[in-house]
Structure 1
Amino acid sequence: MQIMPAVHSLAGRLAEHTARHDLRSRWFGVGRSVIAAAQLSVLLLTPLKALLVPVVGMGEFPRCDSVRAASALCLGGDAVGAEPRRWLLIMVLLVAASGYRPRWTVIPHAWAAYSVAVSISVPDGGESVGMIMCFLMIPIGLADGRTWHWQRPESALAPSWRTVSLAAFLAIRVQIAYLYLDSALSKFGVADWANGTAEYYFLRDGMFGVSRPWDGVLLWMSKSPLVVVSLTWGALLIEIAIGVCLLSSGRRRKVGMVLDIVLHGSIILTMGLWSFALAMIGSAIVCATPDRRPAEPVAVDSGSDTGSAAAGAWAHDAGRAADPCPECGAHAPPAAAVSSV
């Protein structure tokens, strides 16, 4: 049957890609730290009473019913004050942002992100994105046995961890790409976005409008129909481009990351929304992590797998990586050096 060769070819390419997959790099570390910094900015720069302000129809915050009781802001009930809980979250996020022991801190980081997302009364969207990213990064973090996520790994990643980490990485890319594509396409159903005038009104919004020192220049520029249409439709096109790029190859994902920084950097300069912008930029950096890295270490971080299987995959990587690594500009070791393990 003609379909069987195609199936075998696809399986072979998937196995090869999995064997070369390794997210233990500074790319992943920087993205994770930026996300933690976004969450820290919420807790450090906003008074807790402003984060937990009562909402009409919803009652007092934090709400500790159902699964929300797992939040750190519900810890200890009435016997523990709100400030000690806040500082507990700050300490967890500081350790996560520092990059220390990803395998140990990835779950506490997800717990802190969950606590912020479900407990504060006025989330801006960045908290939800950060929470989802932290949960999806758990398998990747558990596979990362480095002391600091800024270091180069000293051992090969076991095959099972490669597979689990790759699945989580693909889920992250699909999630973030869907967010941008859905955001852009849904705006075409709103009259102000469709006719190109939305940015005119956003720049003049009383709460989220442009702030100093850019207000004079941008408000003057926005009086031009051409400028307003360019800003409005340009934002939609950039969002679509980001979503498409994050689903593509490594080089295109880097293009998507640059577009993401440009988009959210512009939002920071004009409208603020620091925590949301940082959460999105950090997510884009994680998505832009290169597919492969040079196979320099020879020891095996085996976990529950046998060393021979992981070493075989590592040798396979090295044997196919004689050319300079496109992401790092370095040469991988020859296969003979690895096969002697």
Structure 2
Amino acid sequence: MAWGSTDRLGRWVQVVRSLLALGTFLTLVVNPAAILLHFPTGVVPDEYCGGVLGLGAFCVSPFDTDTTRLLLAAMCVPLLIGFLPAVTGPLHWYAAFTVASNTLGVEGGDQLTVNLSALLCLASFVDGRLWGWRPRRSGADRPLSNIWVGVILFAARLQVAYVYFEAAIVKLSNPLWSDGTAMWLWVQNGGFGATPAVSAALQSLLAHPAVAVAATWGTIALELFLCLTIVFASAPRRRLRLFALVCGILFHLAIAVVMGLVTFGVVMAAALLVALHRADDPLPRRAATESAPQREPETSILNGEPR
């Protein structure tokens, strides 16, 4: 999987699809309906089935909520393994839409999954591969489809950049974040998934004011850095984008460990990949290829693809 290639629907897009599908799949499989829905009566209330929300499976399914949950999880599997993404992408999108619309999600990744999945479904209309993992050697002979996919992926990039921008700006307006105590207070919250040992270690560490302030303001700075890198880092700035990707994934891994938001971390890893990847413009490269003498294609040591 090249970090930048002429094909805007390379195998890296399937990595993003699979991660998004994995997040929805884990949410549906791990959580019984009683936990996922939190409705004592076992029936989704009217306010969760009003308007467009009423199209969610928990509102229209004739089966009980647990059976519906497992059927939705099964709808994620084909895209997760990369089978016929142009068809199975919408199936996963509907499962993600149901989770975001009919359940009491609290970690924020469910709605982002819906948005990114919808954009990738639009991009997949020009992806006729039986398996999403199958490489497409070059996108130079598909300029129109590349333009279409490029616009869709640019919209996805802006969506992810906005998520980090809003997260940073909202924190700046909160006095607990602006005075540097937010991270110390977060680790006192027993409602998240940190183990007792991890929680005790973090409380001991963040008890030092300098560490608490650095962690609090460092979170804001990292979110702004990710936003700016997503928006302004061009295709040649590969090292910067790789650095941002690693920082972002480690950041969300830490959140998963401290707060137990595992599926949120999976979704944000997919979001960072789709936002920080750049595909080179195939048209100039094609012109240069036509004017240059032909030679045998080189093979990348990392991925074995012609480059």
Tell me if both proteins adopt one fold, taking TM over 0.5 as the criterion.
yes
Give the TM-score normalised by the residue count of structure 1.
0.77
Counterpart of 2:51 (choices 39, 43, 66) is: 66
1:117 pairs, out of 77, 100, 108, with: 100
Whole-angstrom distance in 2 between the partners of 1:289 and 1:30: 12
Residue 205 of structure 1 and its aligned partner are, at CA, apart by: 0.9
Conservation of the 8 A alpha-carbon contact between 2:20 and 2:270: yes
Q: Structure 1 residues 253, 141: closer, same or farther in 2, change over 3 A?
A: farther
Q: Tell me which residue corresponds to 1:231.
A: 215
Question: Quick check: 1:44 aligned with 2:29?
Answer: yes
How far has the Cα of 1:284 moved from its partner? 0.7
| Alpha-carbon distance in structure 2 between the residues aligned to 1:70 and 1:291 | 36
Can you list the C-alpha shifts for 1:59-102, whole angstroms capped at 9, x where unaligned?
Answer: 727833321222122234xx422233212211111111111111
Of 180, 204, 208, the match for 2:164: 180
Aligned equivalents of 1:221, 1:44: Cα separation in 2: 35
Q: Determine the structure 2 residue equivalent to 1:262.
A: 250
Kept after mapping to 2: 8 A contact 1:173/1:287 = yes
Task: Give the CA deviation at 1:109.
Answer: 1.7
Pair 122,330 (structure 1): closer, same or farther in 2 beyond 3 Å: closer
Q: 1:170-319 to 2 correspondence within 5 Å?
A: 170-208=154-192, 210-247=194-231, 248-250=233-235, 251=238, 252-292=240-280, 315-316=286-287, 318-319=289-290
On the 8 A contact 1:159/1:313 being kept in 2, the answer is no
Normalising by structure 2, what TM-score? 0.85
SS of residue paired to 1:196:
coil
Compared CA separation, residues 317 and 31, structure 1 to 2 (3 A): farther
Name stretches of at least 5 consecutive residues in structure 2 with no aligned partner: none
Segments of 5+ residues of structure 1 without an aligned counterpart are 1-19, 296-311, 333-341
Structure 2: distance between partners of 1:289 and 1:144: 18
Q: CA deviation at 1:329?
A: 8.4
Map Cα deviations across residues 23-51 of structure 1 (whole Å, 9 max, x no partner).
22222211221111111111111111222
The percent of aligned pairs where both chains have the same amino acid is 25
Residue 32 of structure 1 is matched in structure 2 by 17
The higher radius of gyration belongs to 1
Aligned residue in 2 for 1:151: 134
Please report the RMSD computed on the Cα atoms of aligned residues, expressed in angstroms. 3.0
Q: Separation in 1 of the partners of 2:198 and 2:167?
A: 26
Check if 1:106 corresponds to 2:77. no
Partner of 1:75: 60
Residue 95 of structure 1 corresponds to which residue in structure 2? 78
